[in-house]
Amino acid sequence: MLDIKFIRENPEKIKQTLHAKKAQVDLVRLLDLDQHRRNLLVKIDELRAKQNAANDEISRMIKEKKDSKEKIAAMKEISKQVDVLEPQIKECEAKLETLLLGIPNVAHESVPVGGVEKNKVVRSWKEAKAFDFVVKDHIQLAEWLDIIDFKRGAKISGANFMLYKNEGARLERALFNFMLDVHTREHGYREVFPPYLVNTASMTGTGQLPKMKDDMYRVEGEDLYLIPTAEVPITNIFRDEILKEEDLPIYYTGYTACFRKEAGSYGKETRGLIRVHQFDKVELVKFVKPEDSYAELETLVANAEKILQLLELPYRVIELATGDLSFAAAKCYDLEVYAPGVKQWLEVSSCSNFEDFQARRCQIRYKGKNMKKPNYLHTLNGSGLALARTFVAILENYQTSAGDVVIPKVLRPFMGGKEKISRT
């Protein structure tokens, strides 16, 4: 959520943000409500000042044994006016908050302006492998090796759900264990294992609600949603709390399954693992001081890149333009890995700085010895990594002419020392 004062003072910038992120919010109505609320607050402050003065006057008159009936009657009239104004203020604030929750975050000044066409490749790592045979895609490989059962996954749950099996299930487990070990042992993250179900307050705090309500799975009859990413429960660990400045920065990593409806026909028509309703992911979340957040973003990206480097997968880093940023992000880098079987660059991580946008919605602040009052901290997160597409990239980049898949060296200790997955 943006500071109302910032919106009030920068209406043109907000208009540009609404246009860039395709958000539908009546800014004129919002600013009118803000002005109306401030007018009401001025009135009620004036009335309360009169109440206080009247109380003092009545106390003085009683001590002096003077008749205070008229003063008491006048004070009661003031109290009635206050009673009328208080619900008006609450109603106005509720309407204002509803509109504020629909305002997306403003892009950082360094972000390229424009749509997807303005996204910029910042760097690439490792050339795509040259094969001397006709490569298979991950669907063909998974079925040949009997490591994913697409048909039974769909039978159990529906389209775009997978049943990993045999060495496929083991490889999936190896991947998230490997990622967690790297992030905790080498990058300084503390591991958590959060709930998969969260309440409305948590989803609102990180910005998934109300905007992306249609993409979320909700438990009917309960205030619970299946998480679209571990970003939601991990960021909400400190909701409504004031942290100590000396405890910052705080880094958390956690593995969870993630659940997304993928609303729209493209989700139903995409075969394989590229777009699914349930997938595993290792998340990285940072709570930092505002002045450190952009340096922390670069480190966050490097942490996610390290996983791809250890897996020896070709990838590129994309700086997203204003029109391609998520609702809550101020700046974002996508990591895309190349999959030769489907001949596509696949996003396996988005690393974002939200500045104080999520912290305001979650009411996460910090206080230092030299600070007069608590300040909002900055939150960041990124995938470290999303496993479904990383799984795709491993199958397709490590395939052999015989249809086997060589296991990346760093994963072999998690696979019992096995060097490749073969058809049995």
The per-residue pLDDT for range 355-368, each reduced to its tens digit, is 999 999 999 999 99
The predicted model gives 53-81 an average pLDDT of: 85
**Among 277, 257, 231, 261, which residue's Cα sits nearest to residue 379?**
231
For residue 231, the model assigns a pLDDT of 98
The alpha helices in 240-292, defined as continuous H runs, are: 265-269
Indicate if the pLDDT at residue 267 is higher than 50.
no
CA distances from 362 to 12, 143, 144, 168, 181 (A): 26, 44, 47, 38, 29
Query: pLDDT digits over 211-227, tens only?
Result: 999 999 999 999 999 99
Q: How far out from the chain centre does Cα 224 lie?
A: 17
Check if the beta carbon of residue 305 is closer than 8 Å to that of residue 317: yes
Indicate if the pLDDT at residue 269 is higher than 70.
no
For residue 264, the model assigns a pLDDT of 42
Query: pLDDT digits over 4-63, tens only?
Result: 999 999 999 999 999 999 999 999 999 999 999 999 999 999 998 988 888 888 888 888
Task: Please tell me the pTM assigned to this model.
Answer: 0.92
The set of catalytic residues is 260, 275, 347, 350, 389
Identify which has the larger pLDDT, 89 or 76. Answer: 89
**Domains of the chain by start residue, with CATH:** 4-100 (1.10.287.40), 116-421 (3.30.930.10)
Q: What is the mean pLDDT of the chain?
A: 95
For residue 43, the model assigns a pLDDT of 94
Q: What are the residues whose beta carbons fall under 8 Å from the beta carbon of 209, sequence distance 6 or more?
A: 101, 200, 203, 216
Indicate if the pLDDT at residue 137 is higher than 50.
yes
For residue 270, the model assigns a pLDDT of 62
3-state secondary structure of 401: coil
Indicate if the pLDDT at residue 99 is higher than 70.
yes
For residue 263, the model assigns a pLDDT of 45
CA distances from 364 to 190, 191, 325, 336, 360 (A): 19, 20, 23, 31, 7
Query: pLDDT digits over 287-342, tens only?
Result: 999 999 999 999 999 999 999 999 999 999 999 999 999 999 999 999 999 999 99
The alpha helices in 373-416, defined as continuous H runs, are: 387-397
Check if the beta carbon of residue 255 is closer than 8 Å to that of residue 280: yes
* Bridge partners, 255 (sequence order): 282
